[in-house]
Every structure is written in structure tokens, then in C-alpha cells.
Amino acid sequence: MITGGCLCGAVHYRVTGPMRPVIACHCAQCRMTSGHHVAATSALRDDVQITGTVQWFASSDSARRGFCGTCGSNLFWDGPGSHLSIFAGTLDAPTGLTLAGHIFCADKGDYYDIADDLPQADADDPALTTQVDV
């Protein structure tokens, strides 16, 4: 089980099932909501229990972003499929997770380079974003 939450403590969550490795998303929406790129893992929705009130923002026709209404911490990305994405920086340590790759690299900010040798995809990559270590 892994736990996490927001900066002010108003929202907590726990994950009771496996989580996929962390993927860095460099799309424009992630950069705008976080101030940089987003690093997120994911778990089956049924394996994530949330306490406190999450505010949801519909960031597109197919996805929404969850954040704390008190402190503004970005917590979740919820799109199609069976998994809920969880922003890795909101997890309590130790997580045992590692960064496994980068998506939407074609949209990355011009002020930084991706300096590791991990896989990079210009857009979404189902091979990266749907993997879950069991």
C-alpha cells in the first residue's frame, strides 16, 4: 500500500494495488497546470481510496484533472480507461517507483532538455502509459 496527498493535508489517498512506473508528460496542458512537465504513475481506479474533497477541472472533452481546492496541489489526471493517473510528487516516500519514459516530447518546453536515455514518444504512447507492474 502506498499513500499520498496534497500540501495542506485536506486530501489524502491510498493505493492498495500495483502502480505502473512513473512517466513524464511534456504536453502543453501538463506544463500549464504544473508549471513544468508532470511525472505520474497510475493505478486501477478501484485500488485508489480518496479522503477529502477533490476539485475536478475538465481539461478536455475526454479528461479531467483533480486538485485540492484549498492548497491547489495537482493530484490526479482522469481520462478514458481503467486507470487513474496519480502525480508522483504527491506520493509519500518510499514509493519504490522509477521513471520509465517520456510522452508528448514534441510539445516539451523550449527551456529544458530531456537528458536521460529513457524512451521518448512525440505524442501518447500506450506501451508506456498503460503498463502496470504486477
Q: Each residue of 46-69: pLDDT tens digit?
A: 999 999 999 999 998 989 999 999
Residues with pLDDT less than 70, the chain: 130-134
CA 105 to chain centre: 16
pTM, whole model, 2 decimals? Answer: 0.92
At 52, is the secondary structure helix, strand, or coil?
coil
Report pLDDT for 51.
98
- E strand or H helix at 129, and its extent? helix 126-129
CB atoms within 10 A of CB 88: 19
Which value, in Å, is the radius of gyration of the alpha carbons in the chain?
14
Query: Based on the number of CB atoms within 10 Å of its own CB, is 76 exposed (0-12), middle (13-18) or buried (19 or more)?
Result: buried
Q: Closest Cα to residue 52, out of 6, 87, 2?
A: 6
Report pLDDT for 132.
57
Report pLDDT for 134.
44
